[in-house]
Chains A and B, each alone.
With several copies, the nearest count.
Chain A
Amino acid sequence: QEKTDFRIAWSIYVGWMPWGYLEDSGIMDKWAEKYDIDVEIVQINDYVESINQYTAGAFDGVSATNMDTLSIPAGGGVDTTALIVGDFSNGNDAVIVKGDGDLASLAGKPVSLVELSVSHYLLARGLDSVGLKESDLASVINTSDADMIAAFATPDVEAVVTWNPLVSSILEDPSATKLFDSSDIPGEIIDLMVVNTEVLEANPNFGKAMAGAWYEVMGLMAAGDEEVLTAMAEASGTDLAGYKAQLDSTEMFYTPADAVEFTQSSALPDTMVNVAEFLFDKGILGEGAPSADFVGIEYPDGSTTGDAGNVQFRFDTTYMQMAADGAL
């Protein structure tokens, strides 16, 4: 059904800071006005809560990773479209131990991380690469991201898996060693803006306004606009240098063309199959899920992985393409 008022939620993370800037700077309003709609961008402190709220219908869109989109809204029967593929993590997520060591030395150690998050996925991929399994670890301790730095400072904690800006803070400790990070699995941890498919289909203007606004800010960032970057840095609680350091380990798609190309690449289906298997293995797809293929995922070319009869997650390049074509 057509409507004019939209609400999207975002939470603080390097690649999503532009959303806060869009709201504060008025750029979003400008683009919304152009398409005669109204878009409210709401910051939520708790990332999981923001996705839950979206899944429950409180928001029309939310900033989320590919993995969480698959497990929460798509797994929960809310047909969701990745409207904007913003970046992928290229070092932003990391496995860190105290003292020296390598991935293999993790065997028999307890690891603190946010369970079932991309950190967990990163750890699983890392262990895979050296032929270990999660059961080879002493334990996996679910630790809130808000307390990860404090946790690393306690003697009981030997290894953590977490994301930026926590990674850079923890690495300031001279005893901390990075063992593995997302640059070792490039393109697998993808940060998206996902929106409700039904809403998007009924309101193409919503997609256009969002894409238009987003790529305007991308342009400013790509140009190195210090004022814009400083605003984002301060909103995320760090300074310009800190924020730039985080951006360095993030593969931002500053131009829509790059984003379209990445989304259309043949690597994406493989990644998503990997992710679905990981989720199924952890029981996250729900006990209604008979197999890892329970939820179908559709790609820009119309191909699908998983159950083609139950497509709940769609990668759609339409609006990014429009931005690339300057058609907005």
Chain B
Amino acid sequence: MRLINRNPDIVLRTVLVALPFALLLLAYALGSEARLAENPSDKLMPSLSKIGETAQRLLTEPDRRSERILFWHDTGASLIRLLLGVGISAALATILGLLIGLLPYVRATLAGFVAVISMIPPLAVLPILFIVFGLGELSKVVLIVVGILPFLIRDLSARVLEIPREMIVKAETLGASTFVIALRVALPQLLPRLIQAVRLSLGPAWLFLIAAEAIAAEQGLGYRIFLVRRFLAMDVILTYVIWITLLAFLMDLTLRKLSQRLFPWTQATL
């Protein structure tokens, strides 16, 4: 039988799903052990149990100076920035996507501009962003917006353009104005795609958040990672990285489920 037609049964499937994770853990454990055997106070690859201890400590013990549990404070600060940045981008992209996709005038004006702007590497223009938006919370949110908005606009306006012309014409024959077409025909069909696009841009959004927090911040997950890099506390860094990965994964999952729940008229995509 061809490999293409061979399906693992449910038990084997479970094993296979776990396999790469297990291998990764094993590889890490071995590497860590080898390094620790050479230098017991090596900080680069702490043992798994050490990471576990550190994680427990970070999650439960308050900081000596501030008497707060920094882990949760960092998480809170980062999540607020991330959600603000992504939320603002999504809202702007929806409006601009609709305008660009529906109105030939706006399309002529902005489509090319957005295409060029989307090529500017945001990290390179950071100083300008700082000057314009200051170093506070605003600039971190703005960096996320600058980072993901062009992609979102391009994706969403392409989707609006993909709405079958027939459907728009149908709405016109029912007397819909441009505004009603945007609001009642295009927007509802854009929303599932918006969630898709937001899912795709969550990765970059985290990236820009971490970059912004690395540059100027008092708290946040990215801040902590770059701060403890100064004394190579890999146990802390790895705890934070695993936590960020988990958060990102959960957000992705939530958005997927949300899309299935909110838009029963569309099929879920992978």
**Which residues in A have some Cβ–Cβ distance to B below 8 Å?**
9, 24, 42-46, 48-50, 52-53, 55-56, 58, 68, 71-72, 75-78, 112, 115-117, 135, 139-151, 153-157, 165-166, 169, 172, 231, 234-235, 237-238, 283-288
**Are A151 and B64 in contact, with the CB atoms below 8 A?**
no
7 nearest CB pairs, A to B: A77-B41, A150-B127, A46-B215, A76-B43, A56-B131, A143-B216, A149-B232
Known: A55-B43, A142-B216, A143-B215. A72 touches B127 (CB 8 A): no
CB distance from B223 to the nearest CB of A (A): 6
Interface centre among B57, B230, B232 (most CB of A within 10 A): B230
**Are B230 and A48 in contact, with the CB atoms below 8 A?**
yes
CB closest residue in chain A, given B139: A154
Chain B residues positioned under 8 Å from A288 (CB to CB): 41
* B68 on interface, CB distance cutoff 8 Å: no
**Are A147 and B131 in contact, with the CB atoms below 8 A?**
no
Chain A residues positioned under 8 Å from B39 (CB to CB): 77-78
Distance, CA A72 to CA B40, complexed state (A): 15
Task: Mark interface residues in B227-238 (1 if CB within 8 Å of A CB, else 0).
Answer: 111111100000
Known: A147-B229, A237-B230. A76 touches B215 (CB 8 A): no
* B130 on interface, CB distance cutoff 8 Å: yes
- Out of B42, B130, B136, name the residue touching A52 (CB < 8 Å): B130
**Are B126 and A76 in contact, with the CB atoms below 8 A?**
no
**Are A237 and B228 in contact, with the CB atoms below 8 A?**
yes
**Are B43 and A45 in contact, with the CB atoms below 8 A?**
no
- Out of A45, A149, A155, name the residue touching B231 (CB < 8 Å): A149
CB distance from B142 to the nearest CB of A (A): 13
Distance, CA A141 to CA B135, complexed state (A): 10
CB closest residue in chain B, given A172: B41
**Are B135 and A156 in contact, with the CB atoms below 8 A?**
yes
**How many pairs of residues, A versus B, come closer than 8 Å at their CB atoms?**
153
* B52 on interface, CB distance cutoff 8 Å: no
Known: A115-B227, A169-B232. A52 touches B214 (CB 8 A): no
Chain B residues positioned under 8 Å from A117 (CB to CB): 230
**Are A72 and B232 in contact, with the CB atoms below 8 A?**
yes
Chain B residues positioned under 8 Å from A166 (CB to CB): 230
**Are A237 and B127 in contact, with the CB atoms below 8 A?**
no
* B183 on interface, CB distance cutoff 8 Å: no
Distance, CA A144 to CA B54, complexed state (A): 26
Known: A43-B218, A44-B215, A235-B65. A149 touches B130 (CB 8 A): no
**Which residues in B have some Cβ–Cβ distance to A below 8 Å?**
39-44, 54, 57, 64-65, 126-127, 130-131, 134-136, 214-218, 223, 226-233
Subset of 9 A-B contacts with CB under 8 Å: A43-B218, A44-B215, A45-B214, A45-B215, A77-B39, A142-B226, A146-B229, A284-B231, A287-B54
Chain A residues positioned under 8 Å from B64 (CB to CB): 234, 283
Known: A42-B135, A53-B135, A141-B135. A154 touches B232 (CB 8 A): no
- Out of A68, A154, A285, name the residue touching B131 (CB < 8 Å): A154
CB distance from A171 to the nearest CB of B (A): 13
**Are A147 and B65 in contact, with the CB atoms below 8 A?**
no
Interface centre among B43, B65, B215, B231 (most CB of A within 10 A): B231
**Are B231 and A49 in contact, with the CB atoms below 8 A?**
no
**Are B230 and A149 in contact, with the CB atoms below 8 A?**
yes
Distance, CA A151 to CA B127, complexed state (A): 8
Distance, CA A34 to CA B128, complexed state (A): 36
CB distance from B247 to the nearest CB of A (A): 21
Distance, CA A156 to CA B65, complexed state (A): 25
**Are A147 and B130 in contact, with the CB atoms below 8 A?**
yes
Distance, CA A153 to CA B228, complexed state (A): 16
- Out of A24, A49, A115, A285, name the residue touching B130 (CB < 8 Å): A49
Distance, CA A24 to CA B134, complexed state (A): 22
CB distance from A263 to the nearest CB of B (A): 25
